[in-house]
Amino acid sequence: MGTITKLLESLLSGLSLGSIYALIALGYTMVYGIAKMLNFAHGDIIMAGAFSIIVFTATCGLPPIVAILLGIVFCMLLGVTVEFLAYRPLRKASPLAVLITAIGVSYLLQNVAQLLFGTSDTEFPISVGNSALALGSVSVKYSVLLTVAVTGAIMIILTLFISKSRTGKAMRAVSEDKDAAELMGINVNRTISVTFAIGSALAAVAGLFYGMAYHYVGATTGAMPGIKAFVAAVFGGIGSIPGAMLGGILLGIIEKLAQTYISTELSDAIVFGVLILVLIVKPTGLLGKKISEKV
């Protein structure tokens, strides 16, 4: 395999992996931006998404597209319920209490999945196969193309939604100043629920692509991509939506390049090492910003 071909192929698979990270990172960053909390159970929504798709296809026998849509709806309801039951009562509590609750929710979801599906991995029923499109000497898997195209479209729609829609503007207002938003007549609690619903829907899509890429899903499937997406969100600047996209994609590419050129075993260490470097140089992350207040 030629040097250029090898580089292009690892860039492409990095882009694909990175778009999955970006989808998850968007959930982290939106929830952080609006509720000022790190939802460490977010990664487990990916797992819940993948398992719900398995149940809807394999157990209920629904066609894949219906199962995927139902899986997304299930995750939205799950995310909103978790927020309502676990986080909303702690709205005025210390950030540490909320963080520990989120970790608790994460373990709870993993254990429920283990109870329901056992400790061994379950096969993911949806796949686009291993066939690839040949572009000159570079071969691109259809799954890679699909992942990149769908996540790209989602990111464009999400960006437009946040910048132009009434709800998107309300989300930005709430993320800046909850009391002021409430004084405008914005229902802050409902806006936070909407944010959890959107973040969880994105996690469900990430769960779909994860299942399609790795073919097997287990109770702790969401943990590692969840942590990496969190890293991606911090890397891009937590709270920043373009930051989460950029951070996720860069992280995926760095991981794949590290696997190709350095070492598969060390790739995670390299990913986290890059995060530390970025945070030393730019503590707010790549696109994170602070606006000083004028009096």
Partner 1 sequence: MLKVYNANVYYGKIHAIKDVSFEVNDGEIVALIGANGAGKSTILRTISGLLRSRTGVISMDGKNISNTPAHKIVQMGLAQVPEGRRIFLQMTVMENLEMGAFTKGKADPADIESVFAQFPRLKERRKQIAGTLSGGEQQMLAMGRALMSHPRLMMLDEPSMGLAPILVEQIFEIIGKLHRDGTTILLVEQNADMALKIANRAYILETGRVVLTGTGAELAESPAVKKAYLGG
Kindly list the residues in this chain that would bind partner 1 in the complex (CB under 8 A). 166, 169-170, 172-173, 176-177, 179-188, 291-295
Residue (5 or 165) nearer to partner 1, CB: 165
Kindly tell me which of 3 and 292 has the beta carbon lying closer to partner 1: 292
Distance CA 160, CA 80 (A): 23
Beta bridge partners of 22: none
Reading the block at residue 179, the tokens are 């009391």
* Closest listed residue to residue 232, CA positions, set 258, 271, 199: 271
Considering the complex, what minimum distance in angstroms separates the CB of residue 291 from partner 1? 5
Q: Minimum distance between the CB of residue 89 and partner 1, rounded to whole angstroms?
A: 17
Q: Least CB distance from residue 90 to partner 1, whole Å?
A: 17
Nearer to partner 1, 5 or 187 (CB): 187
DSSP symbols for 163-211? HHSHHHHHHHHHHH-HHHHHHTT--HHHHHHHHHHHHHHHHHHHHHHHH
Smaller CB separation from partner 1, 64 or 168: 168
**Residue closer to partner 1, measured from CB, 69 or 90:** 90
Judged by CB, which is closer to partner 1: 65, or 295?
295
Instruction: Kindly report the backbone phi and psi dihedral angles of residue 120, in degrees, each rounded to the nearest multiple of 5, phi listed first.
Output: -90, 160
Name the minimum Å distance from CB 289 to partner 1: 9
How many secondary structure helices (H) and strands (E) does the chain include? 11, 4
CA distance 163 to 183: 21
Name the minimum Å distance from CB 99 to partner 1: 23
How many other CB atoms are there within 10 angstroms of residue 40's CB atom?
Answer: 22
DSSP output for 192-205: HHHHHHHHHHHHHH
CB of 136 to partner 1, least distance (A): 45
Q: Nearer Cβ to partner 1, position 123 or 176?
A: 176
CB neighbour list of residue 90: distance below 8 Å, 6 or more residues apart:
97, 98, 101
List the end-to-end C-alpha distance of the chain, in Å, as a whole number: 62
| Nearest distance from C-beta of residue 166 to partner 1, angstroms | 7
